[in-house]
Structure 1
Amino acid sequence: MDYINAFWVGGLICALVQILLEKTKLLPGRVMVLLVCAGAVLGSIGLYDKLISFAGAGASVPLLGFGNTLFKGVKKAVLEHGFLGLFMGGFTASAVGISAALIFGYIASLIFRPKMKN
């Protein structure tokens, strides 16, 4: 049942984003920022943890999950370091995921030899 919940929640998030892209004039970059901010807001009011416990990776993998991760990192760093935690918490919480994306992207570019579009 965990896989089914992850599938339909993740699919619903993606479908809602696709509808938002199709029905509005918002550019994809702005929608991505909206998703990250929405994940941080949902995390700050305590709803996102409930969604993750219900849907698992279906809720934690999309950009909403990235916003929630940033919020948790900033919250923890502010509690530990005070005002300076605002500047270091997001970096600390997301460093592993961002580093992995950069490293695997670089390895993929070496293997597959990307070409520029004409």
Structure 2
Amino acid sequence: MKERRVKAMDFVKAFVCGGLICVLTQILMEKTKLMPGRIMVILVTTGVVLGAVGIYEPFVKFAGAGATVPLTGFGNVLWKGMKKAIDEQGFLGLFTGGFTSCAVGVSAALIFGFIASLIFEPKMKKE
């Protein structure tokens, strides 16, 4: 297996690309009255759609962690898991693929989200 050297430019690309995703998300949060949960769903769905049409994977190769860490990257992982499961199991893979590919991420999000809700006081966005 060929080992790839990490270069400083890889960090810059990840920072800029991940930062742009965050900036666009922040603009969406500030300029709309969408609740954070709906914005999260939009991000994950965007990752699924971009993965399905073949745009997200080249973006991941270019941006590295800047593309895989945000929620759009989570959506892309869901897509890849579903695609693999559909190829192996047929129609049933549509329902199982996302769970098997993202089980660790979903479990961590649930556990840490619950812990955060115990530590901090969750509030709804004022209109």
TM-score (norm 2): 0.80
Stretches of structure 2 lacking an aligned partner (at least 5 in a row)? 1-8, 123-127
| Deviation, structure 1 residue 53 | 0.5
Match of 1:79 in 2: 87
Give runs of aligned pairs for residues 4-23 of structure 1, distance below 5 A.
4-23=12-31
Match of 1:92 in 2: 100
Q: Deviations over 1:23-64 (max 9, x none)?
A: 111111111100000000000111101111011000100000
Match of 1:26 in 2: 34
For residues 24 and 87 of structure 1, do their structure 2 counterparts lie closer, same or farther at Cα, with a shift above 3 Å needed? same
For residues 10 and 93 of structure 1, do their structure 2 counterparts lie closer, same or farther at Cα, with a shift above 3 Å needed? same
Give the counterpart letter for 2:86 in structure 1.
V
CA RMSD after TM alignment: 2.0
Give the structure with the larger helix fraction. 1
For residues 46 and 100 of structure 1, do their structure 2 counterparts lie closer, same or farther at Cα, with a shift above 3 Å needed? same
Give the counterpart letter for 1:61 in structure 2.
V
Report percent identity of matched pairs: 62
Distance 2:41 2:104 in 1: 20
TM-score (norm 1): 0.86
Distance 1:24 1:102 in 2: 26
Moved more, 55-64 or 21-30: 21-30
Distance 1:78 1:2 in 2: 33
For residues 27 and 77 of structure 1, do their structure 2 counterparts lie closer, same or farther at Cα, with a shift above 3 Å needed? same
Distance 2:99 2:76 in 1: 13
Give the counterpart letter for 2:63 in structure 1.
A
Matched, 1:66 2:71: no
Match of 2:45 in 1: 37
Where has structure 1 moved over 6 Å in runs of 4 or more?
A: none
Local SS of the residue matching 1:31: helix
